[in-house]
Amino acid sequence: MCQEKAQRRVTTLRPSVFYVAVGLAKDIGLEYFDAGVAAEALQYDGDIISTDRAFDGIRRVEKVLASSS
């Protein structure tokens, strides 16, 4: 387990996030929930912690590999 706790922030889901998510789903074929996660990361300058290759092709999103152990 990570020694440092990540900062957590609760935000209201804004219409702009839906707009970006729809664009990602349409333009690069992301699934609904993956598009939502990516849109949140883009809107709030966040990172995605995942082993899912769906996020590999998104520019401006930093993907941090999750440990498999």
C-alpha dist (Å) from residue 37 to 3, 4, 48, 66 = 25, 23, 8, 15
Residues of the chain with pLDDT under 50: 1
Question: Residue 54's pLDDT is what?
Answer: 87
Q: Computed over its alpha carbons, how large is the radius of gyration of the chain?
A: 13
**What is the model's pLDDT at position 1?**
44
Domain locations along the chain: 15-64
pLDDT at residue 15 in the model = 92
So what's the pLDDT on residue 13?
A: 80
